[in-house]
Amino acid sequence: MEGQHISNEEFTTLVRWVKDNYGVNLERKATLVEGRLWNVIKQKGFSSLKEYFDYAVADKSGLEIKTLLTRLTTNYTYFMREDIHYTFLTDTVLPELIPRLRVKDLRIWSAGCSSGEEPYTAAMVLDDYFGSSKSAWDAKILATDISPQVLQMAKEAVYPEDRLQNLPPAWKTKYFSKEPGNHFRVKDFLRKEVILSSFNLMDTFPFRKPFHVIFCRNVMIYFDKPTRDALIERYYDALEPGGYLFIGLSETVDKAATRFEFVKPSIYRKP
């Protein structure tokens, strides 16, 4: 591997273990692994990736290996990222779904929610769409991620101002309170609309009821094609008929390998 500190053998061992346990494919990410992990290895007092990796795997709490994964997979995100999805949710999905629901129970899953910007944006969209009738609906959003660090950030729900710059100004006032240091906290009434939970997408889906909408955006870029194809089909099974899957704008679904209907780039529907 092209790296000053990490050997090819160490890299191969890490790649294989992460792929087998979490589905994340790091085979072509040698430079990223080197850049993101070496400082952590030194800070924790280890002299090699092998030493740190052995320590992380042996940690019975599982927190250290998840810290390692967080370092390798977390990217910068912000509110209203890939905003065409939220526009489509407002203009097409909700007007189509709402009249069909006999019980006022709308189920949305943000899979790979990172630090919370995605599910909180979706919660704002729902609050704005329903208006005064929102209290009549059970429309809480399930938000899951494998990383305890980003889930803690989502739970605290405090963000620097630059993460909010794509939001309508009125939403910034309605849904956030100003914090010291030019930071903003999501208001409690909106935070209560998002249920945060730790979950590995490679595990069996434990959900009792299917969802109407699933967001899994910019997550599958870390998976190889067989893992992506299998996960997409599990999402299909986890959706209500007529439900929608949103993926990242740079991601694709193999139309020949899926039962989903293609709606438009990055948007798919279960017939």
pTM of this prediction? 0.87
CA distance 214 to 155: 20
The reply to whether CATH 3.40.50.300 applies to domain 84-269 is no
Domains of the chain, by residue range, sit at 8-73, 84-269
In a structure prediction context, what are the per-residue pLDDT tens digits for the chain, which is 271 residues long?
444 578 889 999 999 998 888 888 888 888 888 888 888 888 889 989 999 999 999 998 888 888 888 888 777 789 999 999 999 999 999 999 999 999 999 999 999 999 999 999 999 999 999 999 999 999 999 999 998 889 999 999 999 999 999 999 999 999 999 999 999 999 999 999 999 999 999 999 999 999 999 999 999 988 889 999 999 999 999 999 999 999 999 899 998 889 999 999 999 999 9
First to last CA, the chain: 45
Topology, domain 8-73: Chemotaxis Receptor Methyltransferase Cher; domain 1 (1.10.155)
Half-sphere exposure in the Cβ direction for 208 (13 Å, CA): 0
Please answer whether residues 195 and 110 qualify as being in contact, where contact means their C-beta atoms are separated by less than 8 angstroms.
no
- If phi over 0 gives left and psi between -120 and 50 gives alpha, with beta otherwise, what is residue 127? alpha
Whole-number Å distance between alpha carbons of 208 and 66: 26
